Amino acid sequence: MRNRFVLSFLCIGTLLLASFARAEDGYDMWLRYQPVANENLRQEYQAQIKQIIAEGNSATIKVAVEELQRGLSGLLAVPVTQTALANATAGRVLIGTPANSPLIAALGLKKKLVALGNEGYLIHKINTQIIVAANTDVGVLYGSFHLLRLLQTEQPLNNLSITSSPTLQYRVVNHWDNVNRLVERGYAGLSLWDWGTLPEFKNPRYTDYARINASLGINGTVINNVNADPRLMSDQFLKKIAALADIFRPYGIKLYLSINYNAPRAYGDLDTADPLDPRVQDWWKARADKIYSYIPDFGGYLVKADSEGQPGPQGYGRNHADGANMLADTLKPHNGVVFWRAFVYHPDIGDRFRGAYDEFTPLDGKFKENVILQIKNGPIDFQPREPVSPLLGSLKKTNMMMEVQVTQEYFGFANHLAYQGPLFEEALKTDLKVDGKNSTLANILSGQFNKSTLKNARTGMAAVINPGTDRNWTGHPFVQSSWYAFGRMAWDTSLNSDAIAEEWLRMTFSNQEKFIAPVKKIMLESREAGVNYRSPLGLTHLYSQGDHYGPAPWTADMARADWNAVYYHRAAEDGIGFNRTGTGSNALAQYPAALAKQYADLNTVPEDLMLWFHHVEWNHKMKSGRTLWEELVDKYYSGVNQVRTMQAEWDNIEGQIDAERFAHVKALLSVQEREAVRWRDSCVLYFQSISTLPIPVAYEKPEHDLEYYKMLARTTYVPDPWHPAGASRVLK
């Protein structure tokens, strides 16, 4: 009788838990740990997992245990806690390293572990126990998250024999957060870092932020904008920053700062920031020593120098290597590194595409070993589709990492659904075709490709992320998926965006097949849809200047040539596109010969990159049999249709997930549809005014004329609190 009472009490408890859990606001991201919905499987898990055993007691092991307790108890819907060794019997999850756990040491896993390096781990089922073992505590933490992921995605736990270690060393997120808490290109509220209340108030969000990153194996965070405010290096701020570093440390996350190259002057101490001036060197050395006195494991600096008005060594007649090496020397004694950005393009360079390659290739081999060049995936700037940056294929003796963007600066801010996994994958799988070797970008980034010319390369990948004070962190719930994809791919560059989307959906929403299949389809199509309704066939940067949100392909009145959309598309009576072949800017010559050859030929260049490299006649025959003009129009229309299909597919899954997130995404998809139509009509009408060719009658007619869309671009309120450009343009 009593047992039955307890049982029904437990059942009601579980039901209550499940129904409360249904009200979701996205805060928990992919770490929701809701009870496994499949009843049989949940029981199976319950039979296999009863307790957690951990022998080490470092801060990292503690957070691993906490995460397992929280996760397993949630997923199994029964308490799973750490047990004292003496009580340990069957069904135990044993975590640790051979160094801190005699139980793990006794298992004879050392050989297997050696191959896994500092951050790798293994998850083995041995008899009735599940072992999560690693060489380091942080490896154990990563393995614990992996184990939880197995349950979250409803994988079997029998015969577990998993090993995993990261392909890249520096897996870093970049915040573009300003001291005043506005986030450049953020779109999800204010900066997470509340400088006013730090260090005293440690907002629990800081810990959750660390958990989210650690669950993916992200091991570094640059907490402030690359357009950096020197005040962050003051003692006043360092105290606050140190409090954040303390919170991140157990999660294996190092803290980095973006610095302003003119800091020695900004502080008023010096009248120069010349990297070869001994006083400047002393200043930076003293600053580094100071920072490390607050944060002993500080990661280092991210530097945007001589780029978009930011100061740098060139202002003092020095080059990027002089600039980076000086900083590197001051960090070296502390094991810090310099991420030196290659995002440079000067007003007088002619073809902006060429900028980074032309400046950095001559410096190959000149950088200190603790400098890593941080290079955007494409040559221009996070456009919906770019060819890979030729700089990534040219450096042989320089550490480099790729920078991608999770925040949707060019993808409709936090208003559009645009899963970036396919974009990252496309970049990583691009083969630069160097000397017939395996020269995929993934292989180059891993350090394998250049191992004969660069020993012990430092490797990595960085992503500009946008979390802010919005309850769901990222504004659009699906921006979370790109953060997720970044972390997973930085850990394992061979993963594909399809599998990652599925994993994310299962953890973030539901394991139901009838939910996953259609929504995965939406995700996988969303990036291409965004390309199609904005800039298909290799068009690029047709945005209204400054805000980078709406369409303004007619922009021609900006002071600098490369701030104008017409600079990029070059539409004229005779055709459209930017000639980068030998008869044009010859930027193609920056690619390895075989790739350059493929792209230089109109018959072999992939059509989706065509107008990046060629100025093509309007009536050029495309593979589809259509003319270029017809194809262009068709792409714009199919972009809108894709969004409409996404809407219909989303509507179909109503009732399968919580009403809150369903309604939110549904509403945002309507915004996206409206704006996709605006993009399509603006671009098609504008290009038509140049090609003077008709829009085939089969397509729906644009609702308004071109003048209307031009007016719209001048008067639209741009929902980007950071950027003043929207407002000033209205007044023009």
Task: List active site positions.
Answer: 308, 381, 409
Q: Which of 63, 226, 363, 684 binds ligand BDP (CB under 6 A)?
A: 226
Tokens of 483: 């953060």
Tell me which residues in 44-73 interact with ligand BDP (CB under 6 A): none
CA distance 82 to 95: 11
Q: How far is the CB of 287 from ligand BDP (least distance, A)?
A: 22
The residue among 284 and 382 lying less far from ligand BDP, judged by its C-beta, is: 382
CA distance 674 to 665: 14
Q: Output phi, psi for 220, to 5 deg.
A: -155, 150
Q: How far is the CB of 434 from ligand BDP (least distance, A)?
A: 27
Tokens of 572: 């004229």
The residue among 382 and 491 lying less far from ligand BDP, judged by its C-beta, is: 382
Q: Which residue is nearest to ligand BDP (CB)?
A: 381
Beta strands, E only, 298-435 = 300-303, 337-341, 371-376, 400-405
Tell me which residues in 530-589 interact with ligand BDP (CB under 6 A): none
CB 264 within 8 A of CB 272: yes
The residue among 401 and 684 lying less far from ligand BDP, judged by its C-beta, is: 401
Q: How far is the CB of 189 from ligand BDP (least distance, A)?
A: 18
C-beta neighbour count of 22 within 10 angstroms: 11
CA distance 156 to 37: 14
The residue among 182 and 712 lying less far from ligand BDP, judged by its C-beta, is: 182
DSSP one-letter code for 262? T
CA distance 44 to 608: 48
Calculate the alpha carbon distances from 667 to 416, 417, 472, 526, 693 in Å.
10, 11, 16, 16, 36
Residue with tokens 């509340």: 194
Tell me which residues in 327-356 interact with ligand BDP (CB under 6 A): 343
The residue among 177 and 184 lying less far from ligand BDP, judged by its C-beta, is: 184
The residue among 327 and 522 lying less far from ligand BDP, judged by its C-beta, is: 327
Q: How far is the CB of 24 from ligand BDP (least distance, A)?
A: 32
Q: How far is the CB of 124 from ligand BDP (least distance, A)?
A: 43
DSSP one-letter code for 693? P
The residue among 175 and 304 lying less far from ligand BDP, judged by its C-beta, is: 304
Q: Should residue 304 be labelled a site residue for ligand BDP when binding is judged by CB under 6 A?
A: yes
The residue among 184 and 470 lying less far from ligand BDP, judged by its C-beta, is: 184
Q: Should residue 402 be labelled a site residue for ligand BDP when binding is judged by CB under 6 A?
A: no
CA distance 290 to 295: 9
The residue among 353 and 662 lying less far from ligand BDP, judged by its C-beta, is: 353
CB 395 within 8 A of CB 360: yes
Q: Which residue type, as a one-letter code, is found at position 378?
A: G
- Dihedral over alpha carbons 47, 48, 52, 54 (to 10 degrees): 160
CA distance 94 to 82: 10
Tell me which residues in 88-127 interact with ligand BDP (CB under 6 A): none
Q: How far is the CB of 223 from ligand BDP (least distance, A)?
A: 16
The CA-based diameter of the chain, rounded to the nearest angstrom, is 89
Tell me which residues in 621-680 interact with ligand BDP (CB under 6 A): none
Tell me which residues in 406-425 interact with ligand BDP (CB under 6 A): 409
CA angle 144, 149, 152 (to 5 degrees): 130
Residue (of 113, 159, 158) closest to 139 by Cα position = 113
**How many residues bind to ligand BDP according to rule CB under 6 A?**
10
Tokens of 711: 């007016």
CB 530 within 8 A of CB 412: yes
**Per-residue contact track with ligand BDP, 263 to 282, x per CB under 6 A?**
--------------------
Q: Should residue 381 be labelled a site residue for ligand BDP when binding is judged by CB under 6 A?
A: yes
Q: How far is the CB of 612 from ligand BDP (least distance, A)?
A: 17
Residue with tokens 């997720």: 484
Q: Residues 650-654: contacts with CB within 8 Å, 24+ apart?
A: 650/519, 650/522, 652/518, 653/514, 653/515, 653/518, 653/519
The contacts of residue 277 (CB under 8 Å, 6+ apart) are 270, 316
Q: How far is the CB of 404 from ligand BDP (least distance, A)?
A: 11
Q: How far is the CB of 418 from ligand BDP (least distance, A)?
A: 16
Q: Which of 50, 92, 175, 185 binds ligand BDP (CB under 6 A)?
A: 185
| Interacting residue ranges for ligand BDP, rule: CB under 6 A | 184-185, 226-227, 304, 308, 343, 381-382, 409
